[in-house]
Each structure stands twice: as C-alpha cells, then as structure tokens.
Amino acid sequence: MFRKILRISLVLIGSLIIYSSKGFAVDDPFIGYGSGGYNGKLMIFSIPGLESLKEISIGVDIHGVVSDGKDLFVVDKAQNILFVIDLSKSSVKKDIKLLYGFGPSSIAVSKDGKNVYIAGELSGKVAMVSIDSGKVVTVDLKPMPSSPNFITITPDGKYCLVSDYSNNRVLRISTSPFKLDREIKIRSPHGIAVTSDGKYALVSSKFSASLNIVDIKDFKVEKAIKTGAVPLNTVIDSKGAFAYQSQHGSSEIVKIDLAKKEIVGRFPVKYNPDNISISPDDKYLLSINKFSTGIYDKIYSNISDKGGIVTPQNMEVIEIASGKTIKQVAVSGDITDTIILSRGSVKDASLKGGGQFIKQGGKPDVSPKEGVKVSYMPADDRPPGIFDADDGAIEIRLKALSYIFAPNVVNVFKGDTVRFIITNIDEKSLYIDKPDVVHGFTINGFGKQTDVLLPRGVSAVMEFKADRKGSFDFYCSNFCGPVHHEMRGRLIVE
C-alpha cells in the first residue's frame, strides 16, 4: 500500500515539474536532435519524455539538422561552415568551409550521404557540397537580392526545392547537372515538405495563411488550402496520409488529410510554433514554440546585473492519436530545426543520462566570444546613428525593433575600432503581440565577436577591430516573430 501511494505521489510531482523529470526518459524509444541557434550547440534529447541527453558545443549560430542514417549535418549561419557529426559518437568529425558571406540557413542531404545541399539565405545562393572532397559548387538565384531560407530534396534525389521570401517564389533546382530548373510564384514561402512518392511539395505561405500543394513534375500549384495564421513549417507522416503544419500566429498545429486535401484536426500549443517534426512511428509531434509567455515565470535569465530578462522558448510533445500534449519543457537557445530518429539507429552509448535543459536563475546560454568586449548598460535612449567617439572608436548606436535595425547600413574603414551599442526598443512583438520579445544580433563573418542577445530594458555594448575588408550581412539571431528572417542589415568595411 505504501509503495502504491509513493508511486502515485511521484507521478503527481513529476507532472507538476514540467521542465524536469530526471530518469523518466532514459528508455524512450526515440532521440531528438535540435540545432540550438545562438547558443552554438547541437542539443540531443529523448522523445517523448524530453530529457536532455547531451549538448555539443559546435560553433556560433547553428541551423538545419538532417541525417543520412550514419551522420548528422548542421550549418553555422554566422561562420559559413558545414559540420558533419558522427551519430555513433555524437561528435564533430569534419567541418567544411563554405563561401565568404554565404549565410547558410537550411540544409538537405542525398540518400547516400555523399552530397549536402544548402540554402544561403544571406548570399542568394544555393550550394552543393561533396562530403568526401569538400568541394562546394553554387547556383546564383537571380534576380538579386534573393533570400533562399529553406531547402529540401525529392525522394529520388533529382531535385532540390527552395523557398525565396525576397522574391515570393519557390525554385526547382536540378541536382545533376546542378542548375536552376524552374520556378513558381508563391507569396511569402517558408517551409517545404515532400510526399514520400515524390509527387507533391507542400509549401507553407506565411502571409497567405495557406498550405500550397505543388505538383512537382508540372511545377504548378494544384490547390491552396487555407489553414491558419502565419503558417511556417510542415511535416508528413510515414504513410503519406496526413500532413501537419505549424501556425505561428494562432499557436496551433493543423492536421491535413492529404487524400481529401482538407483540415481534419487542430492541436493547440503554447505558444507560437515554428519548426515541427514527427516521430518515425507517426505517434508523436514535436513542436518548437518560440514564446513561453506566462508559462515559466520562474525560469528566466537576466542578461546582466543591469537587468534584461530573457524568457525561455519551449518544446512540446503532442500525442497524435489523442491530440493532447504529453510533455512540455523550457529550453535554452533558439532551436531552429529538429529531427527525430529511432533510438535503435543511434549507436552512441554515452546517451544514457537525462535531465533538464535550463535551470532557474542561470545566465542565457550564448556561444563563446573571441576578440571582443561585451557588456550591458541601462537602455540607451540616444538617437540611432554612426558617431566618432571621444576615444577614437567608431560608435554605432543601433536600434532593434520588429522587424528592422536602424540604421541598417553601417560604413567603417578597415582597422577601425568599432563599438556597437544596440538597444531593443520593442514594447511587444509585431503581429503576435508578445511583450517578452528578445532580438539577437550577429554579423556574418564576425560571428565570434557579435553573437549577442537583445532583451528589453538594456543595451548591448560590443567593441572589436574591423580587421578585414568587405560587405558583411548582420541579422537578428533570435526568433522574434514571423518576419524574423527579414530583419537584416549590412556592415561595409572599406
């Protein structure tokens, strides 16, 4: 009797502590991998229990996560690097440098793992990378500017499909020869999923509130289904029967019957989902929720002793059969992409433990810095602009708000000491009405000097030497809302 009462008590306690249930998930059947965004990490966790199994520090701003069954592949948007990760050891075994200013944001891999295809959001290019030789071949997506921010590959490996939000189009790129093949106009395209038979691509149109069903062979929209507010990403089950699409604006995931081409279910999530993934057995959905407003009031971080609250994002597991949430945890970083693998396919014996992702009162988990002084001060209320400081530095007072930086073009000379003072002046996130919006700031090519978080109430101060000439894109490196990707500017070093 005592054991029964104790067991019930432990279950109740575990259900209350939704961000930690150590020991619960060590036997979970699936393992999830998430690219951690600004924390520079690959995050490994169990499904459905959401135990943190391991975190691997890789780079500065980690995006995309795909697998060929033997390795994982991720990219560093800040440093223009492709990383190859050995699944059996959960460690980096190779890194391949991409082109200067490439700005990778999304990746796809051929079935044999020989080639990886990468969308270069900041450069307007798509790359094909040979894993064996490290050779990088690119296709320019004219007209410029182009912003390819999502890429996937068809099951037969013949085509890559790429979304370009700057030109409201989806492109079909032949893999052999590697060249642009066709394009189709779709307003504000984002995520793309391909049916297992290779016949259709499902394209999320975030400002048309729709899922576009594209015939891949004829490359035309067969039907557009109105789904919800700000749809971002879509996954398809293993049978090709149902698709699931995240609705960032309405905080839900919709279920679409692909035979009927109509919505058959809605799953509420908390709050504002972006990336979603599905378990190999089609039992679980994993939703990456970009805001946790009001959920984790005690689990927040102060960026400094001057203030600046950073509230966590969260992951949520939904049992598809019931449509109910069975687990939700606060997470560190800004998880940009996820993949779920069967535990039996992962041979890493070190993935035994389990624990929570984030603890109360800790500092925000930001990638390490090199060659820069970073500090925070009370919010700077001076007007934005570029000024000569008394100590000889070039002082850039930058304002960040949904969804722009002001000024968005900064000119300096090589050798200048550059001091950025960046202030988040948002009162709430535009379009989704969230008061706890946190921006990020990273300069591509200067990632180790400039990857910082920008919570409200403080200004980030960073000082470094502009030691190379060129044009360098800067961008918001923490998901701040539905136009987050478009929040960009440029540093020009002459």
pLDDT tens, residue by residue, 6-17: 343 333 333 333
Domain regions of the chain by residue span: 24-345, 373-493
Buried b (16+ CB within 10 A) or exposed e, 208-240: bbbbbbbebeebebeebbebbbbbbbbbbbeee
Q: How far is CA 160 from CA 152, 154, 172, in A?
A: 6, 6, 6
Do 472 and 491 form a contact (C-beta atoms < 8 A)?
yes
The pTM assigned to this predicted structure is: 0.92
**Long-range residue pairs from 239-242, CB within 8 A, at least 24 positions apart, any chain:** 239/196, 239/282, 240/195, 240/196, 240/197
Instruction: Give me the architecture of the 24-345 domain, per CATH.
Output: 7 Propeller (2.130)
The C-alpha atoms of residue 274 and residue 288 are separated, in whole angstroms, by 6
Please give the DSSP secondary-structure letter assigned to residue 300.
-
- Amino acid letter, residue 207: F
Q: What is the pLDDT of residues 226-268, one digit of tens each?
A: 999 999 999 999 999 999 999 999 999 999 999 999 999 999 9
Report how far Cα 220 is from the mean position of its chain's Cα atoms.
28
Burial of 176 (0-12, 13-18, 19+ CB in 10 A): exposed
Q: Is the pLDDT score of 428 beyond 90?
A: no
Q: According to the model, what pLDDT value does residue 264 have?
A: 98
Query: Within 10 Å of residue 481's Cβ, how many Cβ atoms?
Result: 25
Average pLDDT of the residues of the chain: 91
Distance between CA atoms of residues 218 and 216, nearest Å:
6
Question: Homologous superfamily of 373-493 in CATH?
Answer: Cupredoxins -  blue copper proteins (2.60.40.420)
The CB-based long-range contact list for 204-211 (8 Å cut-off, 24+ gap) reads: 204/231, 204/232, 204/233, 204/234, 204/245, 204/246, 205/231, 206/230, 206/231, 206/232, 206/248, 206/482, 207/482, 211/243, 211/245, 211/256
Residue 8's SS3 state is helix
pLDDT of residue 168: 98
Residue 22 has pLDDT above 50, yes or no: no
pLDDT at 56 over 60: yes
Share of the chain above pLDDT 90, in %: 82
Per-residue pLDDT, 26: 60
* Distance in angstroms (rounded) separating the CA atoms of residues 284 and 326: 9
State the pLDDT at residue 370: 84
